Amino acid sequence: MTKFTRFSLAMMLTLTTCVALAAPPAKQTPSSEQDIKAALSGGVPGDRWKEGLLFEGVKPMPWLKSAANWFPGTEEIQPEEMRVTFMGTSPSIRPGQMNTSIFVELGNGDKFVFDMGEGAVSNYVAARVALNQINHVFITHLHVDHFGSLPYLWMFGTWAGGWHEQLTVHGPSGRTPEYGTQAMVDGMKKMLGWHIDAFSVFPVGKGWDIKVNEFDFRDNGGVVYEENGVKVTHWQRSHAKDGASGYRLDWNDMCFVWTGDGRPSELDIKYAKGCDLYVTEMQAELMEISSGVQGVPPFLGRYTVDTHHTPAYAAGYLANQIKPRMFMTTHMAFDPYQNEESVAEVREHWKGPFHFGAPDGIVVNMTKDLVWVREGILPDFPNNRSPQFDFSNGQLVVPLPPTTREEIQEPFVREQQIDPKKYYPEGYHPVLLEDWPVKSDLVVPLDTMPPSLTNGMGEEWRLKQKNLEKLGKE
């Protein structure tokens, strides 16, 4: 035993002794009812006046572990709940603000991604979302800050267990076919040719069968998706070029809107009217200051906003027309020098509940009665969550990889690999897994799997069963 551990042990023993010897607190005479009331509710509005966020229905739910912060993996989504997390919040990518992406989770187990900007994957990982849980991505338009993470999500999501359900990309058509979502995905497939073939030495299953649901961008109010009581509709946004859309998701008598990018328009009011959670992009009117800070010529900022975006005054105007239970803005710089100004501009028109959907990790919990917004605490060095599987059939099925190294690599370079005996220490002889160990799909009954795997990979499936059961009972 080293000197140090002996010392710590002695300390611990002393501490334990102290705790054991401490007397229970003595009982004292209670204060008067009046004093207790004055101390516990003094300065608290009650029904007497309104302060800051005391709008009706804006309140933390009892099942939240903390009203101030959200810690990923510590709260189960409730059967009736919608949870919305901002995974990317800015058109200018930087640590703390990845490109735009919004994650919507429903109490029935469904999950949807709205836009998938560059870098956003890191926040999904930090929020303990396994990449194979993402099966539906709705792209508002084809500016790269709204879909840049798609290649990574597709390739590594397949590697990480995306074998049984294909990835579906929903998005608008363009005015001509080459500008539509299908054309973008076709181009992405081409760009990923090497990667797809390379990763085909792994299990793939349905992973490579990416599906595109391209809708006519002019079909305002059209339904993009309708399943399990979830309906997603779309409308046109004015974003300098045809083929930009806003989305509205309706489920369980609740509604979420993400406008994507665009100029304020009468269509926004028409299709988002009365929605519970209305999220729009926003740019503050600070061209001179922000050009001073960022070094961008003011006319470039002005021209970009006036042709493409929603000024903060307009955001407030729209909110006041739409009258959501919670209004949020994202796709914006979250900077001390402009946050107060942004709020002031929004407040010119909208006096109701308002919160920034920025920086990354802001999370919204919503039920029919309550809505609450918190800052999520996303770790810098998270580990991946284990892939999540539907274990209804009592099995884990691992598809046979479509190809082998021999098929995609000439022998020469493999033969140049250093003999492992030269670098492994003496007496250490790992059995290298150089060939896929089985010749067909691997089917593993759950009861033959180590509990650590069954538990980790079945978490979401079990939660979904539990919630569906509760929903069915009500």
Residues in contact with Zn ion by the rule CB under 5 A: 91, 143, 145, 261
Contacts of 309 (CB under 8 A, 6+ apart): 261, 262, 263, 281, 282, 283
Parallel, antiparallel, or unpaired for β 277-281 and 326-330?
parallel
Distance CA 333, CA 52 (A): 23
Distance CA 282, CA 355 (A): 12
Nearest residue (CB) to Zn ion, 134 versus 139: 139
Provide, rounded to whole angstroms, the least separation between the CB of residue 244 and Zn ion: 7
Distance CA 315, CA 328 (A): 9
Provide, rounded to whole angstroms, the least separation between the CB of residue 140 and Zn ion: 8
Nearest residue (CB) to Zn ion, 126 versus 244: 244
Provide, rounded to whole angstroms, the least separation between the CB of residue 143 and Zn ion: 3
Alpha-carbon radius of gyration of the chain: 27
Nearest residue (CB) to Zn ion, 145 versus 276: 145
Provide, rounded to whole angstroms, the least separation between the CB of residue 310 and Zn ion: 11
Distance CA 85, CA 365 (A): 9
Nearest residue (CB) to Zn ion, 155 versus 358: 358
Distance CA 360, CA 197 (A): 34
Nearest residue (CB) to Zn ion, 310 versus 365: 310
Contacts of 402 (CB under 8 A, 6+ apart): 200, 204
Provide, rounded to whole angstroms, the least separation between the CB of residue 308 and Zn ion: 6
Provide, rounded to whole angstroms, the least separation between the CB of residue 117 and Zn ion: 8
Closest CA to 247 of 296, 284, 199, 281: 281
CA 401 to chain centre: 29
Nearest residue (CB) to Zn ion, 278 versus 372: 278
Parallel, antiparallel, or unpaired for β 223-227 and 230-236?
antiparallel
Nearest residue (CB) to Zn ion, 118 versus 261: 261
Phi first, then psi: what are they for 267, rounded to 5°?
A: -65, -35
Parallel, antiparallel, or unpaired for β 277-281 and 223-227?
unpaired
Provide, rounded to whole angstroms, the least separation between the CB of residue 331 and Zn ion: 6
